[in-house]
Amino acid sequence: MPPSRAVARGTAAVTAVGALTPLGDDPVQSAAAIRAGLSALGEHPYFDVVTPDPEWDEAERLTAALVPGIPPMLGGPARLLELALGALRNLSASARLLRSELRTTALLLALPPADDVVRAWGLAELFAAELCRRAGLAPFPIVRVVESGHGGVLRQLGEAARLCESGEAARCIVLGVDSYDDEARLGWLDARYRLRSDRARDGFLPGEAAVALLVEPAATAARPPLLTYLAPSFAAEAHTVHGEVASSGTALAEVVRAQLAAPGAPPVVPWVLCDLNGESYRAAEWALVSARLADRFAEGLELGHPADCVGDVGAASAGLLVVCAAQAFRRGYAPASSALVFTASDDGERAALFVHAPAERAP
């Protein structure tokens, strides 16, 4: 067992990351491009949104962000597998994972929510086995799957900390993947005025990504921590984005307060990384919470939301936020030694987690 390292305010550590996004085929490229404010958003190769007057209007092409190199007509589970394989491969390379280590490693998947289209894909039953087959890996001894959308990776980070602490797994791979680039799924969202267009100015711009995080016990990790964390907080918002009533902000405020009360949390929030995606519903919710808890947010708060650059990446959102924090800590440009990550899932789940720089890298 390796000697204990000085770690900052967390019992679990993310020790390696992998990512495949529209802005890069690894986490370094992706985080650097997001930091620089580069955008992968552009005209979708084939999908036209519904216009205000379909009988008279010219066709309007959707704006979206897609990963280069994956055929745009490839959709459904096949597309998710390509994304997930890319993230898993560069995680394996960066962590130098041995096949012998995988025998004591849990695989924790965060997948798209089972809406009317995705439900038919059977992801909960089939995705993990097919991913292992395509990657040439034996089945993992422990597999967990959640289909809860934006907060799925945070839910699985909580499960990873529990598995590592209990000794049920020596380490965990948390993998979040999502893509809206499926014709049926895009059509379903467009029919509900969720995709931004001339007809639906309050919609979001869709993206796609896969993120893989290696989690180990912080005190005995075999690899230097990129960041550490305790347990995420969760709450349910009664007024979801699907309804006619604006968010109350109650659930998001609750999870932020819970994180501020956690051991080792900073007295005020200095840095926020979140999944705001341009929808007024989310922006209004954040405005409510930042006003209600104004005394708990630092003056000059740093606020980051990568959807500006890569679109809304769904179930990969929280993973991408963690990658951005990890790269900032690692490369010395983080504005603070702790970042509050929060997400808002379409079903009303709100999730938040403080991530902390390792002691030797704290600003």
Domain ranges of the chain: 12-220, 230-361
Question: Rounded to the nearest 5 degrees, what angle is found at the Cα of 68, between the Cα atoms of 63 and 73?
Answer: 70
- Of 17, 188, 213, the closest CA to residue 110 belongs to 213
- Whether 12-220 and 230-361 share one fold: the answer is yes
The span from the CA of 332 to the CA of 323, in Å, is 14
How far are the Cα atoms of 32, 33, 66, 316 from residue 36, in angstroms, in the given order?
Answer: 6, 5, 19, 20
Q: What is the bridge-based pairing of β-strands 233-236 and 60-64?
A: unpaired
Confidence at residue 8, expressed as pLDDT on a 0 to 100 scale: 40
pLDDT tens, per residue, the chain with 363 residues = 233 333 345 789 999 999 999 999 999 999 999 999 999 999 999 999 999 999 999 999 999 999 999 999 999 999 999 999 999 999 999 999 999 999 999 999 999 999 999 999 999 999 999 999 999 999 999 999 999 999 999 999 999 999 999 999 999 999 999 999 999 999 999 999 999 999 999 999 999 999 999 999 999 999 999 999 999 999 999 999 999 999 999 999 999 999 999 998 999 999 999 999 999 999 999 999 999 999 999 999 999 999 999 999 999 999 999 999 999 999 999 999 999 999 999 999 999 999 999 976 555
Q: Give the domain 230-361 fold.
A: Peroxisomal Thiolase; Chain A, domain 1 (3.40.47)
Confidence at residue 19, expressed as pLDDT on a 0 to 100 scale: 98
Confidence at residue 159, expressed as pLDDT on a 0 to 100 scale: 97
Burial class (CB in 10 A: 0-12, 13-18, 19+), 291: exposed
The tens digit of pLDDT for each residue in 327-354 reads: 999 999 999 999 999 999 999 999 999 9
Phi, psi of 22 (to 5 degrees): -65, -15
Confidence at residue 363, expressed as pLDDT on a 0 to 100 scale: 54
Q: What is the CATH number of domain 12-220?
A: 3.40.47.10
Contact 181, 66 (CB under 8 A): yes
The tens digit of pLDDT for each residue in 28-44 reads: 999 999 999 999 999 99
Question: Is 125 in a helix, a strand, or coil?
Answer: helix
Confidence at residue 359, expressed as pLDDT on a 0 to 100 scale: 78
Confidence at residue 1, expressed as pLDDT on a 0 to 100 scale: 28
